[in-house]
Chains A and B, each alone.
Chain A
Amino acid sequence: MIKLFWRDVTLAVRSGGGFGLALIFFLIVVVLVPFAIGSDQIMLSKVAPGVLWLGALLACLLSLDRVFGLDFEDGTLDLLATSPIPLEGVYLAKVAAHWLTTGLPLTLAAPIYGLLFNLDFEVRQLLFLSLLFGTPALSLIGSFGSSLVLGVKRGGLLLSLLVLPLYIPTLIFGAQVARSAAIGQNFEVPLVLISIVSLITLAILPFAAAAALRINLR
């Protein structure tokens, strides 16, 4: 399982794996927002926590079809299914790799991008925390979606259609943390809630995703 994890990480980091793409996409979204909303500093810092969360979420979406898609196409997934690791474990290893190469960089980048919106240090801190607790849920849910649409040709669009509604609770709580911090409200409750979402998905989705993988490999 650990080997599988490192293999996925290496594959993602080497060129063509789309490691930097998510970060660049995130940056572009962040740069585009002022063009859409206007350059008013106060307004921008008001919407910034939400925008950063949304940008991170969309950037996370980009690399999802690679989680299982490539391995399914070249037959690696069949080999993994016959290996001693249960498919639940395969799923977890792949999620961990996806998070390390997408979720974590996005989490680290968000406070830096927050500087562009003139966010306070405290808000940026909480943005970081909320993304740290929230992005695992994004990876977990997204990889589950990826396991559902394996058999579909060009399932990228379908994948985002299925996954985005599932992202709603994570987004609500995550953005709430940063927004509450920005207006000086209590941010601990949403922070706990977003951790709950991550933990619930961690508890349930491995089984759902492994079931979907088994069906697709049948």
Chain B
Amino acid sequence: MALTWKLSSYWDKFWHLANPKVFMGWSSRLLPIIIVMAAFCLSTGLIWGFFFTPDDARQGSTVKIIYLHVPAALVAINGYLLMFIGSLFWLIRRQHVSVLIAKATAPIGMAMTAIALLTGAIWGQPMWGTYWVWDPRLTSFFVLFLFYIGYIVLWSAIEDHDTAADLTSILALVGCGFALLSRYAVLFWSQGLHQGTTVTISDGVQQERISDVFFQPLLLSMVGFCLLFLALLLIGTRTELRVRRLKMLELREQML
């Protein structure tokens, strides 16, 4: 009894955080910390990775692009997941912050997808001998990129904010299902050239795993990218909230 009461009070407190005013409060306090941490992790991870790790036996120094490629890809995929969650919560609870988070995620996620695709292409040229192959992973990422574009374009096409929020949320929900479906359809469609997942937390004994020398800086830059994403996300959401508030103020001016 006491436990359920406590849980539900935490639950309420959690949703209280999404109140626009409260959100502006805590995000403004949190933002500098996140930015500093992101800068620290990214600079340390990238400098460590680029200058203080040995060259790979077969791949030479081209392996170092992994410190940009993998974290960007990680953020790109999870960004879409976040968009899905934000849209879902908007449709259920009608909290403006959640849909604005989804809206702010899209451009960041798109940029990250582009980074992952570009770094992959740059790496692929010397390694695979081609900038692009129609490999399942590469293709799914391209599809993800298209989904991001569709979402952003739909947002910009509809004038009324609430209608746009509702429609893009529906698109994000349906799109997420189709993105998953495409992922597996693409697997079915073509055999891959891209390596499997070698960055795993669990100790893969039988599978080929990335060496610790590369893994530690990579982990750091992954954390750095996530923090960077979070910082950009908070900035984007705060901007959206301010834009909305400005519009409200303008409307009020006109009324008076």
Contact = CB atoms under 8 A, between A and B. Distances in A.
Interface of A: 144, 148-149, 151-152, 155, 158, 161-162, 164-166, 168-169, 172-173, 176, 190, 193, 197, 200, 204-205, 208, 211-212, 215-216, 218
Contacts of A208: 170, 173-174
A210 to B, nearest CB: 10
Contact of B167 (A148, A165, A204): A148
Interface string B158-174: 10100100110011011
Interface stretch (B3-11, B58-66, B182-190, B196-204): B182-190
Contact of A166 (B154, B173, B175, B188): B175
B128 interface: no
Contact of A172 (B150, B163, B188): B188
A168 B182 contact: yes
B192 interface: no
A204 B177 CA distance: 10
A168 B157 contact: no
Interface in B125-162: 143, 146-147, 149-150, 153-154, 157-158, 160
Given A161-B149, A162-B171, A148 B154 contact: yes
With most chain B CB atoms within 10 A of its CB, the pick from A151, A165, A172, A215 is A165
B174 A165 contact: no
B175 A215 contact: no
A51 B62 CA distance: 38
A148 B174 CA distance: 11
Interface residues of B, number: 26
Per DSSP, are chain A's interface residues mostly helix, strand or loop, or mixed? Answer: helix
B52 interface: no
A104 B70 CA distance: 45
Contacts of A173: 185, 188
B193 interface: no
B42 to A, nearest CB: 31
B181 interface: yes
Contact of B178 (A151, A155, A169, A190): A169
A216 B163 contact: yes
A173 to B, nearest CB: 6
A204 B176 CA distance: 13
Contacts of A169: 178, 181-182, 185
B137 to A, nearest CB: 15
A20 to B, nearest CB: 30
15 contacts: A144-B174, A149-B157, A158-B153, A162-B153, A165-B143, A165-B146, A165-B147, A165-B150, A166-B178, A168-B185, A172-B185, A173-B188, A176-B189, A208-B170, A212-B166
Nearest to A152: B157
Given A158-B154, A215-B170, 7 more contacts: A144-B174, A148-B167, A151-B163, A158-B157, A168-B178, A190-B188, A212-B170
A158 B230 CA distance: 30
B189 A211 contact: no
Nearest to B148: A165
A187 to B, nearest CB: 13
Nearest to B184: A169
A165 B170 CA distance: 15
A216 B167 contact: yes
Nearest to B144: A165
Would you list the 8 A-B pairs with minimal beta carbon distance, nearest first? A169-B185, A165-B146, A172-B185, A215-B166, A169-B181, A168-B182, A172-B189, A162-B150
Contact of B174 (A158, A205, A215): A205
A191 to B, nearest CB: 13
A155 B178 CA distance: 22
A148 B169 CA distance: 11
B153 A211 contact: no
A165 B186 CA distance: 13
Nearest to B147: A165
A176 B186 CA distance: 11
Contacts of B175: 165-166
